[in-house]
Every structure is written in structure tokens, then in C-alpha cells.
Amino acid sequence: MSEGSALISFRGIAKRFEHDGSMFTAVEDVQLDVAPGEFCCVVGPSGCGKSTLLNMSAGLMEPSAGTVHYAGSPVPKPNTKVGYITQKDNVLPWRTVFRNVALPLELRQVDKAEIRERVSAMLDLVGLTGFAKAYPRQLSGGMRKRVALARTLVYEPEAILADEPFGALDAQLKTILQAELRRIWERTGTTFIFVTHDIGEAITLGDRVVVMSQRPGRISMVCDVDIPRPRDVFKVRFDARYAELFEQLWSALSDEVEQELAS
């Protein structure tokens, strides 16, 4: 893919941070083009810079070197074209579940009746029917994650940056939400950069899986998920190709994690 046709393009990206009075390199030499409509998954050891890359795509952090482009121009600050499901959920404690999910629609001055309809449908979708009037403090961690997910999906942004959105969920709920997300993605053509620790999830959902090395984070492997779509999220794990890709990704990732533990 040429740089021009990418929706999100990382070119020569490095990021340095200060720690204990000295600078260290968190991310180095990252080149990646994410095509419009692509579902791009990112896996890598803890601390390799996955959230940092998302923060740069959202225009919340500047690279120390290189440029992140969005639709051909340097990422605006903030990048209002993308929805961001951050790693630490940032639901608003003073708003009910309903009003948290309604917020992006309120900001876009969507008609009240339509807000009611869309928010209710979204709460049903993420399994929070009956919790519309609850406050975030009354919810479990997994429920709060689902509020954050609903709040992003509800306004159908052009691209979604998702930082381990299903990390805190039990396996069953996770599979159900993966199926919903797959359905939404097929319907809307939203571009995704989806960070996960779960290789199986990356293969199930992704067009490509990007593996990052231990710190300083670089892209160590990019794997095309050549399993035909639509994929049944319940059955894809029994596909012979799934096992091969899992093995390949597991081996790449475990090498990185072992090096990290040894360092």
C-alpha cells in the first residue's frame, strides 16, 4: 500500500520519555500503514509502546521523531475523526451509564429522541440493559469497559483506536462482544487499530496482526490473517490456518516476552 492511500500512517516514528532524570527510547523506527477499513491488531510485551502509538494516532501525544498521518495530513491535536477506547476506561463518574454513552451524540447535537433510541440499542448490544440509570461507581470493571466501548461505537467514528477493550471480560462475554464488533465492523467499514494481549482475539478479528518487540518497541513482525471472512468467532479457532497463525505469533511474542524478562 502506498503512503497516500493509508488512513493512518506511521513514518519513522520514535518516542522518547524522561525517567529518573534521563531520557529513554520507548518506541523506535515504527513504519506502518493502516488502510481505510482495515482491522489492524497490535500485540506486544507490556511496556513496548502500544498505548503510546494509539496516543499519537489520537493526537494526544507527539512523536519525538517522524510523523503520524491521518488521511494524508499530520494528525490534528486532538484527532476528532477517531474514537478512542483507552486502556484505563475514562467513563465520567458524575454521569449515569445512559448519559455517558449519550455524550458523543449530545456533543454532535443529535436529536433527543434519536439519542434515546441509539443509546438504548447500544446498551442492549453490550449487555448493559437495565443499567442505564446506574453510575460508574456501581459497576464492575468489565461493565465500565463496556460503557466505554458503547460510548465509542454509538457515534460510528471513521476509525476506532481500541486499547485492550475486552481485557477485563470473562471468556464468554468476550466472545459475544467480539462477534458484535465483527458485525459492526462489517456493516460500517470502520478502520480499527486494536491492541490486545490475546493472540486468539487478534487472529479472530484482524486482517493483520502487528507484533511489537520489547522496549524500545519496534515492529518485529506483521502477519496477514488469511482466513476467509466472514469468520465465525465461535468456530474460527478450529480452522487449521488459525492453529498455524497462532503458533507463528505465539513463537514471535514469547521470544519478546522472554527477552524482556531476562533483561
Q: Report, in Å, the least distance between residue 210 CB and Mg ion.
A: 14
119 vs 150: CA distance, rounded Å: 8
In the complex, minimum distance from the CB of residue 80 to ligand ATP, in angstroms, rounded to a whole number? 21
46 binds, among Mg ion, ligand ATP, none (CB under 5 to 8 A by kind): ligand ATP
Residue 80 touches which of ligand ATP, Mg ion, none (Cβ within 5-8 Å per kind): none
- For ligand ATP, give the closer residue by CB, 62 or 226: 62
Q: Which residues bind ligand ATP (CB under 6 A)?
A: 17, 26, 44, 46-52, 87, 215
Q: How far apart are CA 135 and CA 116, in angstroms?
A: 17
Cβ–Cβ < 8 Å for 234, 179: yes
Q: Which does 49 bind (CB under 5 to 8 A by kind): ligand ATP, Mg ion, none?
A: ligand ATP
Q: How far is the CB of 28 from ligand ATP (least distance, A)?
A: 11
Q: Nearest distance from residue 152's CB to Mg ion, in Å?
A: 17
d(CA 175, CA 232): 10
Shortest distance, position 188 Cβ to ligand ATP, whole Å? 26
Q: Which is nearer to Mg ion, 83 or 165 (CB)?
A: 165
CB of 46 to Mg ion, least distance (A): 7
- The residue (of 27 and 128) whose beta carbon lies closer to ligand ATP is 27
Between residues 87 and 120, which has the closer beta carbon with respect to Mg ion? 87
- Among residues 50 and 69, whose Cβ is nearest to Mg ion? 50
Question: Contact positions toward Mg ion, by CB under 5 A?
Answer: 50-51, 87
Closer residue to ligand ATP in complex, CB, 52/191: 52
Task: Please choose which of ligand ATP, Mg ion, none residue 26 contacts, taking the beta carbon within 5 to 8 angstroms, the exact cut-off set by kind.
Answer: ligand ATP
One-letter identity of residue 130:
G
